[in-house]
Amino acid sequence: MNAAYLPYAELPSGTAIRFTLKWQLIGLLLLASHILLVKQSVWLLPVAIIGVAWLYANAPLAGLIVYLQFLIYQNWVIGLLAYGMEREPTFVILQGTNFAALVVMAMIAWLRLSVPLWSRTFAPALTVTMLALIVALVYSAIGAFKGGPTSALVYFRFTTALVFAVLVGLDLGRIYGYRTIATGFLVSATFSIALGYIEVAAPEAYYDAINAVAFMTLKSPYDPTVYDSFYSAKDIIAHNTSVLFNITRGESTIDQIRFMGTIMHTVSYAYVIAATALVAWSIRYNALLLVLVPLLLLSGVKGANLLFACSMVLWCVWSLTRNRKFLIAMGLVMMAGYVGFGLTFGMQNEDYHVIGFLGGIHGIITNPLGHGIGVGGNLSAAADAGFKWEEFAQGGADFALESAVGVFLYQMGVAATAVFAVFIVLLKMAPFYLPPHGLSIPHRHTIMFIVLATVAINGIFQEEAYAPTAAGFFTLLCAVIIVNGRRPVGQLNSIWQPRGVARTRTVHV
């Protein structure tokens, strides 16, 4: 049979859950083994990465599940095994583990997609991803020369994770349906959500149990505001305590603990919670929202909460009107209101995110060609050396911070459009059509494209919005849906059985 007519597989829910639980355990054991090996010698770094590459090449779904463990639990496991660990090079290298796994998976995916059939079918997505990667490599070389190789590597990972994820999603969508992959993510994230509630209920005991003090000391040694300040779990609690959603002012402020979760970062973990809630809703696990939405609200992260709320509102608009033009119009109105209010309020209150975004605007005006990837940004060498926000707000620091869009504009100038084009092409390829078989409303999985557009705008105010745990994950899911939408329906058992695919039937989507 011609490859163009091969169907993809949707595993029954029970099968998908059992499959994920098995490979989740294997993935966590592999992750722990990897950390222990690298603690012995950084030259052993490739061992686990080669294992992930082999697994993904032979059993793509299993490889994806293992990667999700690396993505969600990497820092948490590093914390458990942090005692006796050197920051450089061991800790720094281990921080790039999930990105290394993503890169090798994307390389394998690219080889599969380079077959003429797929390269023609998905030419727009493949072209824009290749262009974005080439531009990122060039600007990383410039940044390495100006700001050092460490900052360049850190921001190359930040810049390209969402691009590499597109290749993996296109590859997986040829074989598996969206529901199967979404179920794999939900099961993988369940343990992380449970740990989040434990952290909220008993933060001090939790931080002691996971060696959070050792992890935070390794993570932030150069920040003069926190260096040598983590002597106990109480210090971490104090560090993570702030006013409600960081916007309450006056004498009657409401304090809350912005918990770190398994990502060991408050904002990135909040995006994981939001992603879990949106994915659960997209495949009709509605009851999970009763668990996820309260935790999302408790996170105190504005961006992640707005991502969930705006996406749900726009989905309702799409579901009720079934009119793509009206959906786009409403999306533009909400975007203009969100950005306009955010900038106005932020400038009035010297919000760090708005200051950082304006730094990026100033950077592209003064140097339209950009300064190089790794020059400027929260994770750059310049930021690690320390600075005072008060001076930065008055123009004392000449680089972008706290804004993914601002950092991209500052580092890449007009060439940043190559990365932004990835969002645009995926949205243009979105299958916003009425489903077949007489269904009365659009398919819920199309909400992922609304989420993708929303998180792209969120990047104006949060650097973490474009991280692998946010935009990177959504570009992968959207790519899966795009490929699914171009595949026929058939009986998998009777015509095709690739390696790594359980024997099951294909269902209509």
**3 state DSSP class of 115:** coil
Comparing 63-72, 250-259, 367-376, 415-424, the range with the smallest average pLDDT is 250-259
**3 state DSSP class of 243:** strand
Confidence of residue 6 (pLDDT cuts 50, 70, 90): low
Task: Name, in order, each residue with C-beta under 8 angstroms of 130's C-beta and a sequence gap of 6 or more.
Answer: none
Render pLDDT for 461-473 as a digit per residue (tens, 0 to 9): 998 999 999 999 9
242 has which bridge partners? Answer: 256
255 has which bridge partners? Answer: 243
Look at 288 and 503; give whichever has higher pLDDT.
Answer: 288
Confidence of residue 359 (pLDDT cuts 50, 70, 90): confident
Render pLDDT for 379-417 as a digit per residue (tens, 0 to 9): 776 666 555 555 555 554 566 778 899 999 999 999 999
Three-class secondary structure assignment of 250-274: CCCCCEEECCCHHHCCHHHHHHHHH
Distances (CA, A) of 467 to 62, 368, 487: 23, 24, 30
pLDDT for position 394 = 55
pLDDT for position 389 = 54
| pTM for the whole structure | 0.90
pLDDT for position 247 = 66
Render pLDDT for 172-190 as a digit per residue (tens, 0 to 9): 999 999 999 999 999 999 9
Q: Is 414 exposed, middle or buried (0-12, 13-18, 19+ CB in 10 A)?
A: exposed
Identify whether the C-beta of residue 108 lies closer than 8 Å to the C-beta of residue 54.
no
Confidence of residue 439 (pLDDT cuts 50, 70, 90): very low
pLDDT for position 242 = 80
Q: How far apart are CA 54 and CA 101, in angstroms?
A: 11
CB neighbours (10 Å) of residue 51?
Answer: 17
Render pLDDT for 48-70 as a digit per residue (tens, 0 to 9): 999 999 999 999 999 999 999 99
Number of C-alpha atoms within 13 angstroms, CB side, residue 20? 24
* Nearest alpha-carbon partner for 168 in 54, 49, 24, 60: 60
Identify whether the C-beta of residue 410 lies closer than 8 Å to the C-beta of residue 364.
yes
Identify whether the C-beta of residue 296 lies closer than 8 Å to the C-beta of residue 436.
no
The tokens describing 281, both together, are 């809703």
* Nearest alpha-carbon partner for 206 in 230, 236, 228, 231: 236
Q: How far apart are CA 54 and CA 67, in angstroms?
A: 12
**3 state DSSP class of 241:** strand
Instruction: Give the H/E segment covering residue 445.
Output: none
Residue 349 pLDDT exceeds 90: no
Identify whether the C-beta of residue 423 lies closer than 8 Å to the C-beta of residue 405.
no
CB neighbours (10 Å) of residue 256?
Answer: 19
